[in-house]
Every structure is written in structure tokens, then in C-alpha cells.
Structure 1
Amino acid sequence: MHLARDHFLPPDPQAFLAAEPATGRVIVIAPTRAACETIELAMGLSIDTLLEREHGEDIRRLAASGRGFGVVAGTGTGKTLGIRPIAETIVREPLRVGVVNREREATPETPTWNVVIVTTGIARRWFEDGLITARDTLVVDEIHQTSAEMELCLALGKRAGCRFIWLSATVDPTFYARYLDSAEVLETRAFDPARAAAVRVLPEQPLEFLNERFIRRAIRERRGVAVFVPTRAEVEQIAGELGDRWQALATAFYHGGEPIRVIRPFLDGEVRRPFLLAMTAAGQSALNIRGLDTVVIYDARYANVVERGRNVLTRLYLGANEILQMAGRVHGRVERGEVYILTDRDLAFDELRPTPPEFQLAGDAERVAITCAALGVDARELDLPVPLDRRAYGTALELLTARGLIEKGRLTRYGREVEAMPVERPWGELLVHADADLVPVVAVAANIESLHRMTREERDLRGLVVSGSDHLTAYNVYAEAVNKHGYLGEVYGLPRHLFDEGIDEWAEGRGVLVKAIEDVALGS
């Protein structure tokens, strides 16, 4: 299989570069596709926010100065809405905004945009192809949501000589201010001492804490409760058990396997209290829940810990930044707020302070090696935000050279074909080698994170299981969804598999996550 065109790049890269305005473009780097859509929406709005009231003049002054700067502010203070005045000040002409991500390809109109919103993976590809230059300003939204791709983009932006404007929630800004050469860091806290929440630290498990006494009080006092736990299974269990037992309590859950529409009524204020919403960390950073006055935090997370140059998934306690962000949804912001932290450690909430970010890049030496080969540079020439494991980097270079992707420090033709595939490198190699009959199977399997994350704890896959192969089983799951409820349509002008309303009932019966099916359709 060979790509006729890379849809993530402008059809005519030279036309894109030639059309760059004298001020350069504003390139907004967002951590997720959903964040891209939120930013695009914000670019058309002019709303009075706490950040605008406290620092509006400072933001415009710094944007006009040509210097980089940072903004650290809590959720709901207006960081994303602040991108519009930043862009208006820099480009000094009407904004022409466009988005490029997995859902929305670069088009012949892309050169006319003076503000381009991209995800981290797209930004990296644009750096590799020289589409982001020293004249451009990089606005990095939600910079505290670290990832290997985000960290590579920071290093590539520094190499290109770009100016950085960065936006972050609760984090110690010292590192970013130094690393990105920020002239100032503007900080806004939505904290009213008169609204300080009552905070309790308890050595209990979530369902042990969410007992009859607590739920009866939440219903009686008409409270809005958010419960943060680390796994999808825990989220579904809490919402399921409490929802079945307490009919007077509006109950729902949200995690990375669910589309945002499932909790849209909570975000739009359509759900009246009392309610309980169980969420993983996916909900703690970017979702504003109206009517919330109670937060329950289970002190656990799963994170990648770098061991010998590799990421190892490890269960850890929450960091101070996560706890402060979760608690900050009610602490100092609402009347009669309550925060419960469930942990077996001795934790003093009042002593928590924002900490520096935790970086992921050290565990992705192969990604660094491929990116550097695409640029024709050595990793030592990049000012990475975290020291790279030289041994792991050398091992990755040896592997990629042996497989024919790299030769004399540069990507080979085969390497460029693999790199252009929007999947992990091993899958990219399989796609390049696959003949026409195998491409559908490989493309679907390449876009499924795992069969486990595609399904719920209780599932019925009878007739779909291929013994010994989760990949082929997952392909069968997707194939049944398409054959029973799919049709060919368009998303932002691109041909996609779409699904009728019957997909929800089918997914419920099979124990399959609809969002997982939609994500596969998007990627394949």
C-alpha cells in the first residue's frame, strides 16, 4: 500500500509557504482533536472572562511585543478564549482559521489561513516538512498535558526559531518559563477565600465511601458530585451500581472510551441536582460541569514510568497538580463546596503546591530517532525538555537502520512511506507491505488500541472471537458494526464510515464502546 497524498500536509507545500503573511502565522497546538474543535469555536467568540478582566491588557501588550510568554490559570478562567485576542494582535488582520487533525485534512484553502489549529502529531509532521518557520508564533494550549509528541514539538519549535506563547492549568511554571524563554508568566486564580471548600482526607475505597449515608445526604442537600477514579472499569462500576440503586440521583460516567455527547447535558446545565458524574482523568482538565459543588478524588493513577529507555505502565499516587486541578473545580469557587480525598497516605491538602511537569519523551526513543532522521539531524542537536536515554536512542537507531527505515542518519524512501502512515511504526510497515486484500484488515487492526479498551468489562463477543488473536477478533467486531449499522458518508468532506442510530443498541448488546468503533472508522 502506498499513499497517493499525505492528507495531513497542504496539497501544495510551496504555495502554503509563499502565502505566509508578513507577521507569520499563528500555529495553535492542541493536545486532542476535541480541543481543536473547542479552540476553533472560541476563535469566533468574544466573552468577558476572569483572565480578560485581570490580564487582558497584559496579554495584548505581550502579544504585540514579539516576545514569548506564558499564562497559568485554572479551569474555567478563560485561557482558551484568550487565544483569539492573542492571534488578532499578532496577525493584525481578520482571522482566517482552519483545523488540521485526523478528522479534517489540509485542503487547497489551507494556504489562506493565518491561524492554523493542529494536534501535536500533525504539528510534528509539519515541522519535519519545513511548513512551520521562524516567522510563525506557536500557541501551545494545555501545555501541562505532557506527551512525547508535545515535547518533541517544543524541541522542534525551538530548533525552528519560533516564538512560544503557552497556556497551562495548575503547574509550576518555572521550567516552561526558562525553557521557552518567556518574558513574563501571567497567573490567574479563580479562588475566593470566602468559598474555600471543606476538605477531608479519608482512608477509604470509592464505593466504601459512596455509601448509603453519603448518597442520602447528597440527595437531601441536592448536591452536584464529581467522582474521579483512575480506570474505565471503576468509572462504569460506580455509575452503574449507584444509578441502579438510587433513582433520585441522576448518574452518568465519562472516560476516554466515551464520546463527549454522553455527558453534554451536564456540561450544558440541563441536568438538575442532585447528580453524580464518575470520571477518569480525561474529565478533570477540560470539562466544566455546571452545578458542581462536591468532588471525590481517589488518590491513584496509572502513568508511564521510564525504565531503561522504555515506558512501563505503573500505578502511582496522584501528583499535586492533579489533586489541585480536581479540587479546584469547587475549592474557592462555589458556596458550600466539599472535597473528599480517598487515600492511604498521610496527605496534607493545605500544603500542596503546583509542581513541575512530568515528561514522557524519555521513554519514546524510537519516535525521537524517526523524527530526527526525517529532519536529517542528530538528537543531540535538539534542545529536548528532558534528557534522552542515549543508550535507548542508539538501540532504536540500530533497529530502524536494520529494518531499512534509516540510512546514514536519514529516512529512506521506505522510511518516509512508513512515517507517513498515521499509525505506530510496526503497523505502518505492515500497511506498506500489505496487498489490496489485506489492507482493510491491517488498517482496522492498526487503529484499535486493544480489544480490552474497545469493550466493556461485561461483553458478548459470541461468533466474533478468533482464537489466539485479539486483533482479528477486534476486526470482526468492527466489521459487524459496519455491516449491520454502517454506511458511507462524509466528515468534513472526507469519505468515512458513519453509523445509524441502531449502533447504540448493538453496542449495548455486545458490550462494545461506540466511541471505539467511531475512532476506528476515523482512522481507517
Structure 2
Amino acid sequence: MYSSLPIDSIKSDFLAALSQQHIVVEAETGSGKSTRLPLWAAELGRVLVVEPRRVACTSLAEYLTTKAANPSLISVGYAIRFEQHFDASTQVVFATPGVALRWLSDDQLAHFDTVIIDEFHERRWDTDLLLALLKQRQSHRLVATSATMDSQRLVEYLEATHLHAAGRNFMVDVYYHANDNQTMPSGDHLEQRIVKLVSQHYDTHQDILVFLPGRKEITAVTQALRRYFTDAVAADEMDVIPLHASVTDDERQRALTASEKQRIILATNVAETSLTIPGVTLIIDSGLERRTHQRNGRTVLLLHAISNASAEQRKGRAGRVKDGVCIRLYGKAAPLERLTPAELQREELVEPYLAALCCDAQFSQLSFIDSLPEKTLASAFQALQAMNAVTEDEVVTDYGRRLYQLPIDSLFAHLITAMPDRRHQEAMVDLAAALSIPQKLWQPPKSEQDQHALWLWLGQQYCDATALIKIVRADVVPEWLTVDDNMRVEARLLAAKMREVLQLPQLEVASAFRRQSWIEAVMAAVPELVYVRRERRRQALGNGFNEVTLSRDTLFGIEHDQSTEAAVVFDKFALPGKGIKQNIVLATCVAPVTLSQMVALDLGDKQQGQTVEAGAGHFQTAIERVYAGRVIDTQWQDVSGEAAGVAIVDLILANEVLEGLAARLSIDIKQWNLYLGLGRYQADICQREPEVIDLALWLSQQIADLGIETIDDIALFSAEDFIFEGIPDWEREEFDNQYPHSVNLNDFEMRIEYQISRKTVIAHYQQGNRKQDPKRWELPRWQGWRIKYKKASRTIDIH
């Protein structure tokens, strides 16, 4: 029997509008929009339904193949990554946004007449981009649906018809489990709080749905509940089921199918929309999700309170079959956001930028519901330019299109295509697959015995990267190795798909590779992946732009590579630090390299270091190679030519030759620069141009003008041969009295700094035994200036 649903009330309006213009359908949870609208739209042509989540995509498609949901048996199929169940005659195809974007880049979705973007309120970057591209083309009838979207903005954006349908919810009573009304959602003791609530309420409810932020929490609560019910209830009376993006088909079916057993379903926000979970009468809502944010130029994934819109969605899952209850683990007046911010506003934009270009659109010129952050947009463009994926006038290159064909992060795609031969390309494909799955593939061993076993298993290939490659390639992994079997299957599928696209050998006949030459190819392709250890903070590494901290789960530093000073960092995970703009970036996949490998690849910059006397009148200077602020190599050479000039300046500034000259010139030049800054310069009386002078540069020019070419030549000159003509002689004494460069009191000495823009004088303690701060009457007048005194890290105002 084809049961009636609330959405049925808008069918005639929907069909009438669909032939004329775009439609925004606002419908509450339980209205039937996800199942009815595709079938109605199929009356006017072939339909693509874009579902933001794989679980919803497959479940809805499978449900619509039943006669109860689809009496006319309109043909329905689906497409997700690695899996397609449809053909050219299928009338309704459900697909994830990534699949839909790739089809758009291939043939502009020419085989579809209507595109329905379901659950648009989730505001994923790929659905936002897809809608923007289709809006620009005006090639398809568009339907955007949502239960909680701020729909009027979307209606105006699409110039669409707005249709609204009520939901079919029973009464849901809401209770708040918090210390006070404004208590925000918190992850503290979450496992214990969930177990306590379930134990108090399971015997008065049918099925229970618990919303948790992620797989980690779901795993912990699953184990705790199974322990509890093993002790408290017969095991065959209770089924604890995880529900997230990576569950098995069996777990998904158990979660979505009614059962004689009482079920406790532990879900991420994948269960907020689209999915119908029968029998649920109690919701326990942690009020938490994992959400990406932009912090200091980097996308960070962290625990975050949900929005009010999400809270309402979660509550609605309890009222689908009869009256229900929702328990929220936060206060009634907790200041939640109204809507979840769009991903395009809070993530890096490299992926959407490249996707738009490959769909023949200029990303920066697309019209989105919300304008894009300019800084993040510019950063993404620069990253793609560095990969040679885009031209200066924002046109995708052939190389950029090849990168987009690979269903992975642009950086990994770039590394794969940059490898010099097939065996290295295969290694990079398998590593990229291992690092591109939604969950962690493995857990390195903790015990010394298992660590040694791992070292023997990997042999000379011992590092995080090669361990992942071997885990992906192995037919069977050792029992002592903690590997997520589901994730390994997904990683192998992804690797197989990329090998097929690139016409590489299959996994079963993967080519052997030499780790050293492969790593060097990676270093040459993307030098910024190379990090060196900090000399003091040994857990920290830097590349000159960013700093990372070694994760506890990395093999880097275990056993045989404790002395390793550099590494290629393939994967990082950013966490929020203490400060507003701080991040803690953990290096989670690290491959050790040597400093000599870095030197051989010409990484770092050369600079002249110290000059030393190697013998009587014979000097050598250090030519240092510096990377990320650290000297990674030093070569000594005899001083001559241009290097001699730099060395002579260094010796003068160190007061090792021409004693006293550096101190005198430093004062003269500082006073001249102050003289200029105060506007005292007069062209008719000053002998030099009004230019700020740098002491080292001035000395270098003087040495060149005097024809000094070697260290020995300096012996022919004295300090009196170096005269800086700045402030006119007749004015200098008066200027020094008014603006002294130092102040000497009876018991101590101070160096004086002038900050002209702030009209501030800072007296820096230099030396002396006096403990008391200087008094204002002891110092020069400095009328109109603010005066500060600084000793060590302490700075005070002197009034």
C-alpha cells in the first residue's frame, strides 16, 4: 500500500513549477521529500539526486527499488566512490556530490534533465559548488531541498519557487541534562554520561539513538555499553550498533531495519537527515560534532557544538513512529549558532578551486550564496599555481585536469604525477590511498616486542610511509599489527582505482621500489614537505613556513632513527592551541631523510658565516647552507673577492680589526637616521642625500671604494680613513645634547632608543650596580616625549 506522506500535498505545485523554474522545497523531518520528489521529477525526464552522505545515498536508492515506496517501479540506481548500480536507462540516479562534480566536468551532466540537491542545509563545499555551477549554466531544472535551511536566501539566490511542506512527527518531549541553563555541550566524561542515561531509560523505550561527534567516541561508548549490558541484561536482548560513514553494510542494515531486539544506535550526524531509522523513541544528543575551521591559514578539525538547526533535526528522529523523548546534554539556553556555517567559509579552497576550473568555470567569478574569504581564495590560487595546475589568468592546465582525475587531495595527485618512473608512481599511489581514507588505517605497536617485529617485517623500509604502503599491498597483515580491516579494504579499492586510471600494474603485482630514491623524488617534487628538527626542541620540526610536532603514533624516533635530523612529512593533523591564532600541528606520517640528501637536492639557502684566522694573516670564511633557520651544512673557503668584503665588514663590526671604528660609526649613523626622522634635514646645509643608512651596507661600499680586496689590505688603513659625514659639524653637538644616544649617571649606563612614530623614548639598562629605577629629573628633558625604562623583560613608564 502506497502510504500518504505530508510532502504529497505539494505534488501538483511541484510538477507545475518544475517545468517553469527552479524550486526550493522546505520540508521538515519525516515529510517524505527525499523519496517522493525524485519520483515526481522523473515524470519530466531523467533525474540526478545529489545526497551529501554515502549512507543516505545507498539507503534511499535501495528503499526506492521496493514496490511499497515506488509502486510504478520507476528504475532507480546509485553511484558512490568505487561503486555504481545504474545504467543508461535508469530514470533516477542517487549520487554523492563528488561523483556528481566529476560527471559535470566530463559531460556537463548532459544525460540528466533535473538535478535535486537534497539536504542543502548541510552546506558542504561540494554541494555549494555544484549549485553555483549549475546556476551559472542554467542547463538543468534545479531543486534544492532542506529541513532547516534559511530558505528565503536560497530562493532569492536561485530566483526560485518556494514550496513548503510540514513534517510528520509525533510529539517529542525535550529534557536538558546540564548543570545550568547556559551549559554548552562538552566532551568531558561523555562515555560515562551516555552509559548512565541509557541504563536509566532503556527499559521504558523501544530503540535508542545516541548522537556522538565521531567514530572515536562511538567506539568508546559501544565498548562501554556492551560491557554494561553483558553484566545487566542478557546479551541476546540488546543490539548496540555503530552508524557512521565507514560502517559495514551489515551494520548499516541493522541500524536501518527494525528488529525484535532492542537497538541502541550510536551515530554521527550522518543520522540527522534523509535516513529513516524505525522504532526510535529516545534520542540522547551529545550536542557535539566534529567540524572544520580555518585557524591561522590552516583547516583544523575539532570538536564543536552543533547549531540549533542540527539540534532540531536530531530531535525529530524520535518522533517518526510515536511520541518520543529527546535528552540533550547541554543547557536549555546554551548559546548555539542558529545554522551551521558553510564549509566554503571555514576550509581551505584548493579542492573546490580545482574542481570548478575542471568544470570550465572561474572559481573566483562564481556566484555563491555567501561570498568567499579573499585571503583563503588567494591562498588556494597560489597553491594551484605552485603545482602548475592553473595559469595566471585562471585557466586550468592539462596537468591540472590530470590531477583532478585522481579522487584524492590535490597535493597527493601532484606527487603521484611528479614521480619520475612507474615504480615510484605506484608507491606514491598506494601511500596516497592509505592517507585519503576517512579513518586511520593502522595503529603502530607500543610494546618493544611488537616494535621489533615491525622492524623485521619492514626491513630497510622502516618508516611510517613505507609501513602504510606495505599494509595496503599485503595480502594478509600480521596478527600482531593493529589494522582497521574496513579501512584497509577501502584503501585497497582506492589504490586499485587510481592504478586503473594511471594504467599502472594491479596491486597484486605491485612493483618493488627503493625507499631512498623514492623519497628523494618526493623531496624534489615538493620541497616544502621537508622538515628539519629544532636543535633544542627535539619533538618539533620546521620547514621555514610551518612547524610540526611529532605525533606519539609516528615511527620517527623509535629505535634506529633517533639521531635523524630531517624528515618528509606526508600527513599532518592540526589541533587548536592555547592562543586564538595558535595551532598544534601533529606530524602523523613521517619518513626520515638525511641532511646530506637535502644538500644534494640543493635545499636551503647559502649564506656567509663567521670568518676565522686560519694562520698568520690567512683567513677562511664559513659558507653555510641554512634551511628553516638551521645550518644543515658548512663549507670553509679562503677569503677572496666579494666574500672578502663581507668578511672584512664582519671583522670590523666584531671589533677585531680597526678597533673602535664600529662603535663610532654606529653612533654617527644612528644619530643621522634620527636626524632625518625628526625632519631636521636641510638640503642647503647637508652634504649627503636624505637617505636612511645601514651600517653594514655603508661599510661595504666604503671598502669597495677604497679598493680593499683582501684581508691583508685592511692593514694599510686606519679607523680615521672611514668618516661618515652626516649631521653638519656645527649642529652635531647641540643635537646630541638634545637627543643623546646614551645617558650615563653616576651609578649606571643606559642606551637610548627613539620611537619617532610613537613619540616615545626607551632607556635600556646597559650596565651598573644601581638597583633603583631612574628618576625623571635625572634624565634629559625630552619635552613632549613619553619616557620608558627597560631592564631585562621589565618595562615601566617614567613620569
Please indicate the TM-score interval, normalised by the length of the shorter structure: 0.7 to 0.9
The answer as to whether partners of 1:226 and 1:278 remain within 8 angstroms in 2 is yes
Instruction: Give the distance between the partners of 2:92 and 2:116, measured in 1 at CA.
Output: 10
Normalized per residue, which structure has more strand?
2
Please give the alpha-carbon distance, in whole angstroms, between the structure 1 residues aligned to 2:31 and 2:359: 39
The count of aligned residue pairs is 444
Q: What is the match of residue 304 of structure 2?
A: 316
Find the aligned partners of 2:211 and 2:470 in 1 and give their Cα distance. 33
Residue 102 of structure 1, aligned match among 81, 105, 109: 81
Corresponding position: 1:291 with 2:274: no
Q: Which residue of 1 aligns with 2:227?
A: 244
Alignment partner of 1:144 is 2:121:
yes
Which whole-Å deviations, capped at 9, do the CAs of 1:205-260 have from their partners, x for residues lacking one?
43343455x44543533542221111222211111112112132432322333224
Answering whether residue 519 of structure 2 is matched by residue 514 of structure 1, we say no
Is 1:475 aligned with 2:469?
yes
* Amino acid of the structure 1 residue aligned with 2:427: V
Q: Could you say which residue in structure 2 is the equivalent of 1:430?
A: 415
Give the secondary-structure state (helix, strand or coil) at the position aligned to 1:151: helix
Q: 2:434 aligned to 436, 448, 463, which one? A: 448
Counterpart residue number, 1:11: none
Cα distance, 1:284–1:378 mapped onto 2, change above 3 Å: closer
Extract unaligned runs of 5+ from structure 1: 1-45, 486-505
Give deviations 1:457-511, integer Å, cap 9, x for gaps.
897876457698433333333333xx139xxxxxxxxxxxxxxxxxxxx89x754
Tell me which amino acid in the other structure corresponds to 2:423. D
Are the counterparts in 1 of residues 243 and 255 from structure 2 also a CA contact under 8 Å? no
Q: Evaluate the alpha carbon distance shift between residue 510 and residue 391 of structure 1 in structure 2; reply closer, same or farther with a 3 A threshold.
A: same
Percent of matched pairs sharing the same residue: 18
Distance in 1, matches of 2:488 and 2:4, equals: 37
Equivalent position to 2:32, from 74, 78, 82: 78
**What corresponds to 1:8 in structure 2?**
none
> What's 2:476 paired with?
484
Q: Does 1:341 align with 2:296?
A: no
Query: 2:155, 2:162 within 8 Å by CA — same for their partners in 1?
Result: yes
State the Cα distance separating 1:295 from its structure 2 match: 0.9
Amino acid corresponding to residue 446 of structure 1 in structure 2 = A
Residue 172 of structure 1 corresponds to which residue in structure 2?
150
Give the stretch that moved more between structures: 235-244 or 384-393. 384-393
Distance in 2 between residues matched to 1:475 and 1:464, nearest whole Å: 14
- The structure number with the bigger radius of gyration is 2
Question: 2:292 aligns to what SS in structure 1?
Answer: strand
> For 2:110 and 2:384, how far apart are their aligned partners in 1?
28
The CA distance in 1 between the partners of 2:270 and 2:406, in whole Å, is 26
Structure 1 70/471 Cα, relative in aligned 2: closer, same or farther at 3 Å?
Answer: farther
Q: What CA distance in whole angstroms lies between the structure 2 residues aligned with 1:301 and 1:188?
A: 27
Structure 1 residue 454 displacement after superposition: 2.6
Give, as a single letter, the amino acid of the residue that structure 2 aligns with 1:385. I
Give the distance between the partners of 2:441 and 2:82, measured in 1 at CA: 23
- State the partner residue of 2:9: 54
Tell me what 2:672 maps to: none
Aligned Cα root-mean-square deviation (Å): 3.5
Q: 1:216 to 1:71 in 2, by over 3 A?
A: same
Unaligned 5+ residue runs, structure 2? Answer: 48-72, 180-187, 496-799
* Partner Cα separation in structure 1 for residue 325 and residue 442 of structure 2: 31
**Larger relative contact order, structure 1 or 2 (CA cutoff 8 Å, min sep 6):** 1
Whole-Å separation in 2 of the counterparts to 1:459 and 1:78: 48
Q: Which amino acid aligns with 1:201?
A: H
Question: What one-letter code is carried by the residue in structure 2 that aligns with 1:406?
Answer: V
Contact 2:38 2:116 (C-alpha < 8 Å) held by counterparts: no
The range that moved more, 118-127 or 421-430, is 118-127
Aligned equivalent of 1:120 = 97
Deviation, 1:96, is 6.0
Q: CA deviation at 1:376?
A: 5.3
Residues 1:474 and 1:456: Cα distance change in structure 2 (over 3 Å) = closer
Alignment of 1:294-443 (within 5 A): 294-307=282-295, 310-331=298-319, 334-335=322-323, 337-343=324-330, 346-348=331-333, 355-356=338-339, 358-362=341-345, 363-374=347-358, 377-407=361-391, 408-434=393-419, 435-443=421-429
1:261 aligns with 2:250: yes
* Secondary structure, aligned partner of 1:312: strand
* Number of the residue aligned with 2:218: 235
The 1:308–1:106 alpha-carbon spacing in structure 2 relative to 1, beyond 3 Å, is farther
Q: 1:216 to 1:285 in 2, by over 3 A?
A: same
Any conservation in 1 of the 2:282–2:325 contact (CA below 8 Å)?
yes
1:353-400 Cα offsets, whole Å, 9 max, x none, are x94452112333323432444355533421122212223323332332
- Using a 3 Å threshold, how does the CA distance of structure 1 residues 375 and 269 change in structure 2: closer, same or farther? closer
Letter in 1 for 2:476: K
- Alignment CA distance shift 1:135-1:454 (3 Å): closer
Determine if contact 2:268/2:289 at 8 Å carries over to the other structure: no
Please name the residue that 2:132 is paired with.
Answer: 155
The one-letter code sitting in structure 2 at the alignment partner of 1:151 is D
Q: Provide the C-alpha distance between the structure 1 equivalents of 2:443 and 2:476, rounded to a whole number of angstroms.
A: 23
Does the Cα contact within 8 Å between 1:134 and 1:160 map onto a contact in 2? no
SS at match of 2:311: helix
* Aligned residue in 2 for 1:68: 22
1:182 has 2:179 as partner: no
CA gap 1:510/1:261 in 2 versus in 1, 3 angstroms:
farther
Separation of aligned partners in 2, 1:282 and 1:54? 28
Amino acid at match of 1:323: A
Aligned to 1:493: none
User: In 2, Cα distance between the equivalents of 1:261 and 1:246?
Assistant: 21
SS at match of 1:484: coil
- Mapped partners of 1:323, 1:316: distance in 2: 13
Q: In structure 2, give the amino acid aligned to 1:341.
A: R
- Length-normalised TM-score, structure 2: 0.50
SS at match of 2:491: helix
1:191 alignment partner, one of 169, 183, 199: 169
